[in-house]
Amino acid sequence: MRIATRRRFLQGAAGLAGAAAAGFPQIWIKNADLAQAADGQIKVGVLYSLTGTTAIIETSLNQATLMAIEEINAAGGVNGRKIVPVVEDPASDPATFAEKARKLVIGEKCVSVFGSYTSASRKAVLPVFERYHNLYWYPTLYEGRECSMNVIYTGAVPNQQQRDFIPWLVKNFGKRFYLIGSNYIYPKEENNVCKILLQRLGGEVVGEEYVPLGHSEFSSVIEKFKNTKPNVIFSTVVGDSVVALHRQYKAAGLDPAKMPMASLTTSEEEVRAMGGEFAAGHFTSAPYFMSYESPENAKFVDAFKRKYGKDAVTNFVSEPAYFQVYLFAQAAAKLSGSDLTPPNIRKAAWGQEFKAPEGLVKIDPQNSHTYLWPKIGQAQSNGQFKIIEQSKEWVEPDPYWAYPGQVCTPNGMVEKKA
Ligand code: ACM
């Protein structure tokens, strides 16, 4: 990767004129609060929960982000400038996310912030990034149906996670699904997409249930699984609850060969916390698994273990948390001096490609989401996923895929009449 290339210093006024010539709306470049990189360093925020119910997964996002920053700095930085992370712990609480985002954007004047696992926390920080024309790099799989000018989305959207997964589940296990999720926007929207797909395939939803974040008592839910006898339990439960659900499923004597859980949110991280024997036989759809064989992934896994210990695991959220820092650095390398502002970084990020552990990825210049490589994995008792299906090509991100007529463009979402 080539990041440290050339130095070019522009005076502030010339930099702003350059941004204007590049076609950014005046309001973006006139705003007195617009963050710019200080000489010799590029300050970025790192906003992942290190405490609370989603720390189980978000800690790995913090770690992957810091590892990428360290690697880039060790290789010379961005045109000689070091990336300086400012780390905050928003404690799995959306209101605290918003408060810390304000601190990073207004107080610290970071030129970008890497952050969030839950969609609830992303929605909570959005007004901050929009008000201050800053840029949020979001690595997590999510429900789509969003098109913010102030976010670069590097996780999977439903057409990269559900499009092939639901037909595969119906073909292999049957058409009767039970939908179980945590109670917030992401599981509900993701289940709406699942229902649209099931309807097309002649499937049936035999139950739908949402449990509070952090929920750990699944006996009544498991009773409903037993009574309704679905072919597939489609799970969008997140955080610590994933561990409780899997353990109680097994304790109840249910059999993944007959009634598997099919998840969009169960990764190596949750499997490590619950113990591989509780996950074995269940399925997850994601663009990345730790077991994926590529030279880039071998290097990523090796570096992660060397830094965080031999038992550390990588997962389908920590991988984009890692590669998005490289995409950020590549974009930042195209800018210098006072040109290094969030709106300019966003524009420079469009079309950037990077050989990630999962394969070559690219930021779509139309919708600021990312081309990814969907896969289906089956959890094994050793805590790893066996990859049983994988896309032969990268899949273009389509955040409004389930909602024809709505299109995400560089200027936001537009409605297209049929
Ligand atoms: C999520 O809330 N996007 C997992």
Query: In angstroms, what is the span from residue 239 Cα to ligand 1's centroid?
Result: 10
Ligand 1 binding pocket includes 118 (Cβ within 6 Å): yes
Residue bearing the CA closest to ligand 1, atom 1: 118
Of the pLDDT bands very low, low, confident and very high (cuts 50, 70, 90), residue 418 is: low
Query: Ligand 1: which of 56, 57, 118 to mutate, judged by most atoms within 8 Å of the beta carbon?
Result: 118
Say if ligand 1 is within 6 A of residue 140 CB: yes
Which pLDDT score, from 0 to 100, does residue 337 have? Answer: 85
Average pLDDT over residues 1-11: 35
Residue 25 above 50 pLDDT? no
Dist. CA 53 → ligand 1 center (Å)? 13
The residue contributing the CA closest to ligand 1 atom 3 is 142
Q: Tell me, what's the pLDDT at 5?
A: 37
Is the distance from the beta carbon of residue 238 to the nearest atom of ligand 1 less than 6 Å? yes
CA of 235 to the centre of ligand 1 (A): 12
Superfamily of domain 162-263: Response regulator (3.40.50.2300)
Instruction: Kindly state the average pLDDT of the residues 231-245.
Output: 97
Do 319 and 300 touch, CB atoms closer than 8 A?
yes
Residue 341 to residue 15: CA distance in whole angstroms: 9
Give 40's pLDDT tier (boundaries 50, 70, 90).
Answer: confident
Q: What pLDDT does residue 8 have?
A: 29
The arrangement of secondary structure in 3-156+293-371, i.e. its CATH architecture, is: 3-Layer(aba) Sandwich (3.40)
Distance of CA 399 to the CA centre of its chain: 13
Report pLDDT for 416: 83
pLDDT at 16: 30
Q: Mutate which of 54, 56, 119, 264 to test ligand 1's pocket (most atoms within 8 Å of Cβ)?
A: 119
Q: For residue 336, what pLDDT band results from cuts at 50, 70 and 90?
A: confident
Report field, pTM of the whole predicted structure over 0.85: yes
Task: Specify the pLDDT at position 39.
Answer: 64
Same fold yes or no, 3-156+293-371 and 162-263 = yes
The pLDDT tens digits for 382-413 are 999 999 999 999 999 999 999 989 999 999 99
The domain segmentation of the chain, as residue ranges, is 3-156+293-371, 162-263
- Cβ of 138 less than 6 Å from ligand 1: no
Q: What is the mean pLDDT of residues 329-354?
A: 96
- Ligand 1 atom nearest to CA at 236: 4
pLDDT at 17 over 90: no
CA 370 to chain centre: 10
Pocket test for ligand 1, best of 53, 116, 123, 142 (most atoms within 8 A of CB): 142
Q: What is the mean pLDDT of the chain?
A: 92
Residues 159, 356: Cα–Cα separation, whole Å:
20
Q: Which atom of ligand 1 is nearest to the CA of 264?
A: 4
The edge-to-edge listing of strands for the beta sheet with 370-371 is: 353-356, 359-363, 370-371
CA pair distance 133, 236, nearest whole angstrom? 32
CA separation for the pair 144, 319 (Å, rounded): 19
Average of per-residue pLDDT across 38-67: 94
- Cα 86 to averaged position of ligand 1 atoms, centre (Å): 23
> Higher model confidence: residue 112 or residue 403?
112
Helix, strand, coil shares of the chain as percentages rounded to 5?
A: 40, 20, 40
Q: What pLDDT is recorded for position 161?
A: 98
Round to whole Å and give the CA distance between 129 and 104.
10
Percentage of the residues of the chain whose pLDDT score is greater than 70: 90
CA of 367 from ligand 1 middle (Å) equals: 19
Q: Is the CB of 186 under 6 A from ligand 1?
A: yes
Contact 158, 191 (CB under 8 A): no
Split at pLDDT 50, 70, 90, the class of 12 is: very low
Please say whether the beta carbons of 345 and 111 come within 8 A.
yes
The pLDDT confidence band at residue 32, using thresholds 50, 70 and 90, is very low
Express each pLDDT in 71-89 by its tens digit.
Answer: 999 999 999 999 999 999 9
* 315 Cβ below 6 A of ligand 1: no
